[in-house]
Amino acid sequence: MTPAWPSRPTEPPDRPDRPDQPDRPDRRAWLRRAAGAGWGAAAAAAGSAPGFALAHDGLGPVTPRLAAPALPLQLHDGRSTVLPAVLQGHVTAMHLMFTGCSAICPVQGAVFAELQALLGGPLPKAQLLSISIDPIADDAVALSAWRRRFGAGAAWLAAAPPVRHAEAMPAFLGGSRARQGTGDRHNAQVYLFDRQGRLTYRCAEFASARSIAQAMEQLAARA
């Protein structure tokens, strides 16, 4: 039985100006241009690219399940990898974030902190994945500090793509809702991937840790 997800509230304002990087508008524009040069063309052609499809906006089960793109990532511990390798063999809950966020991301971090406590017993091979949409600022040091802030354990990874691929995950997950055309915007959804690294379920925004855990247990039982 599919859990009943909570309704989506009005999205709060996302990120204030950060004192360490005061020129936010220029930086956002540069990030969009840099990302567009790399991923924008690939996303536009995704319908014809073998092994890749855009996940259209929506909630609930994804049918058919969509294989994750071969997105390069740098993990919080400095290792380089690709997204399918991270997902393989695990039921994964993933969300988009950035370490300088002061509105949505702290709420998401608190939900993931509660979620990891719920999953340790029933789903020992489950994992959590926080992917940054701000690869300029979010290097391994920043991602590690963000994990410590929320008490992340070994099964909770944080990662950022190269700047030229900054739009990859928002585009795959449903770019218009995930970023809404700006350099900083993102939603508060959690996305579930099966053990084969396929996008399987889109949770509602601000879903509770318990409802996400229930959905992950159901996915593990079916996978």
pLDDT in tens, 17-70: 343 443 444 444 444 444 443 333 333 333 333 333 344 447 899 999 999 999
pLDDT in the model for residue 223: 64
DSSP letters for 41-100: HHHHTGGGSTT-----S-SEEEEEEEEPP--EEEETTS-EEEHHHHHTTS-EEEEEE-TT
* Predicted confidence (pLDDT) per residue in 122-169, tens digit: 788 899 999 999 999 999 999 999 999 999 999 999 999 999 999 899
Q: Which domains does the chain have, with CATH numbers?
A: 24-222 (3.40.30.10)
Question: What is the pLDDT confidence band of residue 185, given thresholds at 50, 70 and 90?
Answer: low
Joined together, the tokens standing for residue 126 give 């489950």
Question: What is the pLDDT confidence band of residue 11, given thresholds at 50, 70 and 90?
Answer: very low
Residue 74 has pLDDT above 60, yes or no: yes
Distance CA 17, CA 100 (A): 9
pLDDT in the model for residue 6: 36
